């Protein structure tokens, strides 16, 4: 049952620990990106200290399992990274509850014609603002 998490850890050369599995599970089960604080609350039963959670999140980000999204109040949100082959990636920010959702955009074309030579786009991110289904009236 937990084998998919173990698999992800193995593929990224990370040792399997119960904390790592719990953090992965929480993020994969969450429909929106999560802050350190939100994860800490979600995993309150795990007796997990702040530093361990912080280290786990940095290790995951460094390995590319997670990506960080900066919020307007200079906080970080963490979300599972899309498949490298999945194409582009969009973030939807709900202006009411401030949750951030990740959406894959399989056939994203580069809308910006870069005017200067030497600039090469490697990844592209679209930021969308609006209301999520929960906040929609
Ligand atoms: Zn919302
Ligand atoms: Zn994302």
Using an 8 Å Cβ cutoff, are 68 and 86 in contact?
no
Confidence bin at 84 (pLDDT 50/70/90): low
- Give residue 45's pLDDT: 78
Q: Tally Cβ neighbours within 10 Å of residue 65.
A: 21
Domains in the chain (CATH in brackets) are 3-80 (1.10.10.10), 84-130 (3.30.1490)
Cα of 86 from ligand 1 centre, angstroms: 25
Cα of 18 from ligand 2 centre, angstroms: 25
Task: Tell which wins on pLDDT, 95 or 48.
Answer: 95
Q: Which of 15-19, 34-38, 87-91 has the lowest mean pLDDT?
A: 87-91
Q: What is the pTM of this model?
A: 0.83
> Which ligand sits closest to the CA of 61?
2
Cα of 23 from ligand 1 centre, angstroms: 23
Q: What is the mean pLDDT of the chain?
A: 88
In terms of phi and psi (left: phi > 0; alpha: psi -120 to 50; beta: otherwise), the region of 98 is left
| Residue list, CB under 5 A from ion ligand 2 | 79, 102
């Amino acid at each position: 049952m937990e084998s998919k998490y173990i698999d992800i850890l193995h593929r990224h050369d990370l040792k399997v620990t119960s904390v790592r599995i719990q953090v992965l599970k929480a993020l994969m089960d969450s429909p929106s990106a999560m802050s350190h604080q939100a994860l800490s609350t979600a995993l309150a039963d795990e007796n997990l200290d702040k530093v361990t959670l912080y280290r786990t999140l940095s290790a995951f980000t460094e390995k590319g399992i997670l990506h960080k999204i900066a919020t307007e109040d200079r906080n970080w949100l963490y979300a599972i990274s899309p498949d490298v082959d999945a194409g582009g990636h969009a973030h939807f920010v709900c202006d009411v509850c401030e949750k951030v959702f990740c959406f894959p955009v399989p056939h994203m074309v580069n809308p910006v014609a870069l005017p200067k030579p030497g600039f090469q786009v490697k990844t592209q991110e679209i930021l969308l603002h609006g209301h999520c289904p929960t906040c929609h009236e």
